């Protein structure tokens, strides 16, 4: 009976641990807060079609707010600007959160819109800055701003800098900016703030608003296909990062997975943002400015053909620590990886230069990594040299090539009676001067050869 209880407990613990390992760690909040940053500056009194801009904007926004009352996963808020003081006073702090976030406050927003009348200037940067206090701290919500304006900043503020700073602080996602009948030349003023749309007429304004809501609120998924040299999605087990194009901050990180049928899995990604998708191969591959279509499944195809590289060496224990291999793309100076000897790692197909940190170091250029293949490099096993000497001194070790030319490889500051280290097979020269010698002319020189696996004892007098 006790054995059955123990087995049952072990099984339960196993199930709980498995469930924990299968928990989704990265997800998009189910609830959304939308703040309408609404332009009520004096310029909104200009005609637009058969009515004033302010009347058209309030009518379209009212209809939108009314349509959202059925969605219990959305909270709304309204912050107008330019509606409190006349333009002649140039009040660059003319903004107020008229209706704060709350469940089912649609009627309050609709009623308040009726009494907003254009008066003042256009303090977009200040209004955006103040909006940071409008969103209650709650990780179960994602925060969105929709800016509706017919003009650019008029108070010497920097809306782009403010927007970037608040996005980095995770106050809200990339803002949507809707320009009402604005000239095309002003697009650059808003592109740096977020996603800009130019509504040339009232119909376009309504269409843009609906499109923004569809993009923001619809469930959006994506799969990343890592393609080989032939364009087949066969690569897997690579870290893939979705970097916010605007802030440079990572929003999602996944270890790429393919099921038993070779199909890449599906992940949910926020469609409000645009991404630089980084596949962390060696070297990494980046697909920039990836925008997702909301409410549908997006397939992101990235070429990452890989092979592998293995560097082998026997008797590596002759070295005091693991031998490292500096890997660079051929003809380039940047180190893309530091690989341990006797290990195998994947690289993008192409040619690489290797700097193997043995003593002396070994340089191999133009090693080619091919699709789906393992390239193996065999390095000669080291030997060992034991140096003993009767007095302290200073020495240098040189390697001698087949043409008799020497290369300095190591300084030996001899402060004890012995020195011992691993060294690659080859011809060497040891230059030593005792600290008791009375001049450079007493420098000693010894040449010797080392073979793989050999231990050489060298005495200095």
306-379 shares its CATH topology with 383-460: yes
**What are the structural domain ranges in the chain?**
31-217, 219-303, 306-379, 383-460
What pLDDT digit, counting tens, does each position of 250-298 carry? Answer: 999 998 888 888 788 888 899 999 999 999 999 999 999 999 999 999 9
pTM confidence score: 0.84
Q: Which two tokens stand for residue 261?
A: 């049928």
Question: Is residue 349 within 8 Å of 304, Cβ to Cβ?
Answer: no
Question: Is residue 241 within 8 Å of 280, Cβ to Cβ?
Answer: yes
Burial of 311 (0-12, 13-18, 19+ CB in 10 A): buried
| Sign of the Cα pseudo-torsion (144, 150, 155, 158, in order) | positive
Question: Is residue 140 within 8 Å of 62, Cβ to Cβ?
Answer: no
What does each C-alpha distance from 367 to 16, 312, 390 come to in angstroms?
A: 47, 14, 46
The yes/no answer on whether domain 31-217 falls in CATH 3.40.50.410 is yes
Task: Give pLDDT tens digits along the chain (461 positions).
Answer: 555 555 544 444 444 444 444 554 567 899 999 999 999 999 999 999 899 999 999 999 999 999 999 999 999 999 999 999 998 899 999 999 999 999 999 999 999 999 999 999 999 999 999 999 999 999 899 999 999 999 888 998 999 999 999 999 999 999 999 999 888 877 888 889 999 999 999 999 999 999 999 999 989 999 999 999 999 998 888 999 999 999 999 999 998 888 888 788 888 899 999 999 999 999 999 999 999 999 999 999 999 999 999 999 998 888 888 899 999 999 899 999 999 999 999 999 999 999 999 999 999 999 999 999 999 999 999 999 998 877 777 888 999 999 999 999 988 766 667 788 999 999 999 888 887 778 888 888 889 999 999 999 988 77
Tokens 């309030």 belong to residue: 58
The conformation of residue 436, written as its DSSP 8-state character, comes to T
CA–CA distance, 304 with 308 (Å, rounded to integer): 13
pLDDT given at position 26: 63
pLDDT given at position 414: 64
The yes/no answer on whether domain 306-379 falls in CATH 3.30.70.1290 is no
**Enclosing H/E stretch for 33:** strand 31-39
Question: Is residue 345 within 8 Å of 339, Cβ to Cβ?
Answer: yes
CA–CA distance, 93 with 127 (Å, rounded to integer): 7
Number of neighbours of residue 285 by Cβ within 10 angstroms:
17
The yes/no answer on whether domain 219-303 falls in CATH 2.60.40 is yes
CA–CA distance, 36 with 34 (Å, rounded to integer): 6
Measuring CA to CA, which residue among 301, 134, 165 is closest to residue 233?
301
**What would the CATH number be for the domain defined by 383-460?**
2.60.40.2190
**Beta strands at 335-340 and 324-329: parallel, antiparallel or unpaired:** antiparallel
């Amino acid at each position: 009976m006790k054995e059955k209880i123990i087995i049952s407990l072990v099984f339960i613990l196993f199930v709980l641990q498995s469930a924990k390992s299968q928990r989704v760690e990265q997800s998009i909040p189910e609830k959304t807060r939308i703040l309408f940053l609404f332009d009520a500056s004096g310029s909104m009194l200009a005609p637009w079609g058969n009515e004033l801009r302010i009347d058209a904007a309030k009518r379209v926004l009212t209809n939108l707010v009314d349509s959202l009352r059925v969605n219990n996963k959305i909270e709304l808020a309204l912050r107008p600007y330019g509606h409190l003081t006349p333009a002649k006073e140039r009040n660059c702090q003319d903004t107020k959160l008229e209706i704060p976030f709350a469940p089912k406050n649609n009627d309050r927003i609709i009623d308040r819109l009726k009494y907003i009348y254009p008066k003042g200037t256009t303090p977009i940067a200040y209004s955006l800055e103040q909006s940071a206090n409008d969103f209650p701290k709650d990780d179960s919500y994602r925060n969105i701003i929709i800016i509706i304006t017919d003009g650019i900043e008029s108070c010497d503020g920097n809306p782009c800098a403010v927007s970037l700073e608040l996005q980095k602080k995770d106050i809200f996602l990339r803002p949507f900016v809707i320009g009402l009948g604005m000239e095309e030349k002003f697009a650059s003023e808003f592109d740096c703030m977020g996603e800009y749309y130019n509504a040339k007429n009232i119909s376009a304004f309504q269409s843009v608003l609906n499109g923004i809501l569809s993009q923001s609120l619809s469930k959006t998924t994506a799969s990343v296909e890592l393609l080989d040299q032939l364009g087949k999605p066969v690569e897997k087990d690579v870290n893939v990062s979705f970097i916010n194009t605007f802030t440079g901050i990572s929003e999602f990180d996944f270890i790429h997975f393919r099921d038993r049928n070779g199909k890449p899995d599906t992940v949910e990604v926020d469609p409000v943002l645009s991404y630089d998708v980084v596949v962390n191969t060696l070297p990494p591959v980046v697909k920039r400015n990836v925008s997702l279509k909301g409410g549908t499944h997006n397939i992101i195809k990235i070429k990452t053909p890989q092979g592998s590289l293995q560097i082998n060496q026997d008797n590596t224990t002759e070295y005091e620590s693991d031998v490292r291999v500096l890997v660079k793309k051929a003809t380039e100076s940047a180190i893309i990886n530091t690989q341990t000897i006797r290990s195998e790692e994947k690289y993008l197909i192409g040619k690489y230069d290797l700097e193997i940190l043995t003593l002396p170091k070994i340089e191999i250029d133009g090693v080619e990594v091919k699709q789906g293949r393992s390239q193996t490099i065999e390095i000669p096993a080291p030997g060992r040299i034991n140096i003993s000497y009767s007095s302290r001194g200073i020495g240098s070790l040189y390697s001698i090539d087949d043409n008799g030319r020497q290369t300095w490889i190591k300084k030996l500051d001899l402060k004890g009676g012995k020195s011992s280290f691993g060294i690659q097979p080859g011809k060497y020269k040891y230059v030593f001067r005792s600290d008791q010698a009375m001049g450079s002319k007493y420098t000693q020189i010894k040449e010797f050869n080392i073979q793989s696996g050999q231990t050489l004892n060298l005495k200095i007098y």
